[in-house]
Amino acid sequence: MQPNPFPSLDALRGGAHVVSLPMRVKFRGILHREALLLQGPAGWGEFSPFPEYDDGEAAPWLACALESAWHGFPEPVRGSVPVNATVPAVAPEKVEAILARFGTVPAVKVKVAERGQALADDLARVAEVRRLLPEAGLKVDANGGWSVDEAVHALTLLADYGLEYAEQPAADIPGLRAVRLELARREVPVPVAADESVRKETDPLLVAREEAADLLVIKAAPLGGVRRALDVVAQAGLPAVVSSALDTSVGIRAGVALAAALPELPWACGLGTLSLMEGDVSEQPLVPDDGVLAVRDPGVSEALLARHAASPARSAWWIDRLERVYSRLIGAPEP
């Protein structure tokens, strides 16, 4: 976690701005993304755990924001990061317009297993992406939405489209392990990636010890910051790819710093999600250019902070949350 001493709560409140950014398309069931931004001596940090997360789950997100704003990032080993497009669980006829927002990309991640949809919807969406981008790397993300049997059946069919991997095809670690073993038994060439089973577990290394995944999908904020995430990858001994959590450019910057510091980066990262949003807090937002993100600081615009300022009621809600999570964080033991 963030090394002591922590900045004071007054320092956090004094540099806090709450924003609400409109989405181009509904994602995770939301049409506006709220975030609390903190300004510190090293720059800006983002505290934006989703509203349904409790204070315990939100604490690592605050640790990441404090690392970003008060301590900065480790030295990068690369100057740019490859980035994939992200296609939400939309109808096939909407896929082309969504991909157009990303420009040229080396890979695409497609959301599948959406509640209320059928496997036929997933197959049609993935088929449309493959039709439009026949040479791109292709991966699917189920967010734990399938049972083991559903995952094996779906991935057996989806394998025909040449998947790089399937992200969180089952909800928990035993389920991931079962899916991975059954796909291997059937000789279905789809590697299993763990996302929620890393960032939502008390022990983020358990999925590796249980041999339940071929790779890890890591996010800086849920793991408590860039340095903590790098340590998890090193201890797990598995390859990793970096993703974002629907962040502003401030949060994307932490993800870029993490991807840039990984010793190896075999896949394009899920750090292009600003393309799903109508606004940002930077005049030079961290959006991919020809499928890559440069390792740079985007800067934060006072005018854009004002334009996208959340309502007084929502700002008060976030400041109250900041105070609660801060109290929990400073009393938390080292991991």
Catalytically active residues are 111, 219
Residue 119 makes CB contacts below 8 A (sequence gap 6+) with 150, 153, 154, 157
Round to whole Å and give the CA distance between 219 and 224.
Answer: 9
> In DSSP terms, which residues pair with 292 in a beta bridge?
82, 289
Round to whole Å and give the CA distance between 74 and 250.
Answer: 16
Q: Are 248 and 242 in contact (CB under 8 A)?
A: no
Helix (H) or strand (E) holding 292: strand 292-294
E strands of the chain, at which residues?
16-27, 30-40, 43-47, 80-82, 85-87, 107-111, 137-141, 163-167, 192-194, 215-218, 240-242, 292-294
Per-residue tokens: 162: 């040449």
214 is in an annotated binding site: no
149 is in an annotated binding site: no
Which one, of 289, 235, 281, lies nearest residue 81 by Cα? Answer: 289
In the three-class reduction of DSSP (H, G, I as helix; E, B as strand; rest coil), residue 3 is classed as coil
* 29 φ/ψ sector (left φ>0, alpha ψ -120 to 50, else beta): left
Counted residue by residue, the chain has a size of 335
* 137 φ/ψ sector (left φ>0, alpha ψ -120 to 50, else beta): beta
Per DSSP, the residues of 91-103 read -GGGHHHHHHTT-
Q: Which residue carries 């990858």 as its tokens?
A: 233
Torsion of CA 128, 129, 134, 138, to 10 degrees: -140
122 is in an annotated binding site: no
Which one, of 188, 218, 192, 189, lies nearest residue 205 by Cα? Answer: 218
Q: Work out whether the CA dihedral 260, 262, 265, 269 comes out positive or negative.
A: negative
Per the annotation, binding residues are 141, 167, 195
Per the annotation, binding residues for Mg(2+) are 141, 167, 195
